[in-house]
């Protein structure tokens, strides 16, 4: 039996402005909407590296991803898998990631090979195949919108709390959606896939 794990990263800003949808307000007929100043994300931020499967996530927080740092993340991921899901040690792990340079570095590829993870190649020119981008991160960004954090630890605690509140069905459905997109990509022989 095989186990599927995916990975991506995102910046968590100390302040993310509300989206246009979130900041909409009702106004009475004949009155104009109140003026709003344009807000931009804060400069304070922390990188969140999210490894996830059909059961949940493994969240790492740290710095900008380099080949060496990414390779070390695999070592920590493998230890967490052994601790939290010992049954996975006997399964073949299929690993999926995007084509960021650090993800494709010699160090990272060597570490995947050393751990005997099977790499599912990311198809070129297919931005919609990264499951974090269509399943995890959009809703996370909506959750964080309008919140302010003064420390990296506060931002990461909010992210951890958000992921802890998601049901297992959410993770399973995201993995199944990736499988659906992958099969559609294959049937269309690499043409652009949106849904």
Q: Is the pLDDT of residue 193 over 70?
A: no
For helices 106-114 and 67-84, give the axis angle rounded to 10 degrees. Answer: 20
pLDDT band at residue 162 using 50, 70 and 90 as cut-offs:
very high
Fold of 2-20+41-187: Nucleotidyltransferase; domain 5 (3.30.420)
Structure tokens at 79: 């230890």
Query: For residue 179, what is the enclosing H or E element?
Result: helix 168-187
Q: How far apart are CA 77 and CA 144, in angstroms?
A: 25
- CA-based nearest residue to 143, from 16, 1, 11: 16
Cβ distance 162 to 154 under 8 Å? no
Q: pLDDT tens for residues 125-152?
A: 565 556 566 678 888 888 998 888 988 8
Q: pLDDT tens for residues 41-62?
A: 667 888 888 888 888 888 888 7
| Model confidence pTM above 0.85 | no
Cβ distance 60 to 51 under 8 Å? yes
pLDDT band at residue 19 using 50, 70 and 90 as cut-offs:
low
């Amino acid at each position: 039996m095989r186990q599927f794990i995916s990975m991506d990263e995102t910046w968590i800003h100390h302040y993310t402005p509300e989206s246009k949808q979130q900041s909409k307000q009702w106004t009475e007929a004949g009155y104009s909407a109140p003026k709003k100043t344009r807000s931009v994300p804060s400069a304070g931020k922390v990188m969140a590296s999210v490894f996830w499967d059909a059961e949940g996530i493994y969240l790492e927080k740290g710095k900008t991803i380099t080949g060496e740092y990414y390779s070390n993340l695999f070592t920590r991921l493998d230890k967490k898998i052994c601790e939290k899901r010992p049954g996975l040690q006997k399964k073949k792990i299929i690993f999926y990631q995007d084509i960021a340079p650090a993800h494709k570095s010699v160090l990272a590829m060597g570490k995947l090979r050393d751990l005997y993870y099977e790499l599912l190649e990311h198809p070129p020119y297919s931005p919609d195949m990264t499951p974090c981008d269509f399943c995890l991160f959009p809703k996370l960004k909506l959750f964080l919108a309008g919140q302010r954090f003064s420390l990296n630890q506060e931002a990461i605690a909010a992210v951890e709390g958000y992921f802890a509140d998601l049901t297992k069905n959410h993770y399973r459905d995201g993995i199944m959606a990736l499988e659906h997109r992958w099969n559609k990509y294959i049937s269309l022989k690499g043409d652009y896939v949106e849904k």
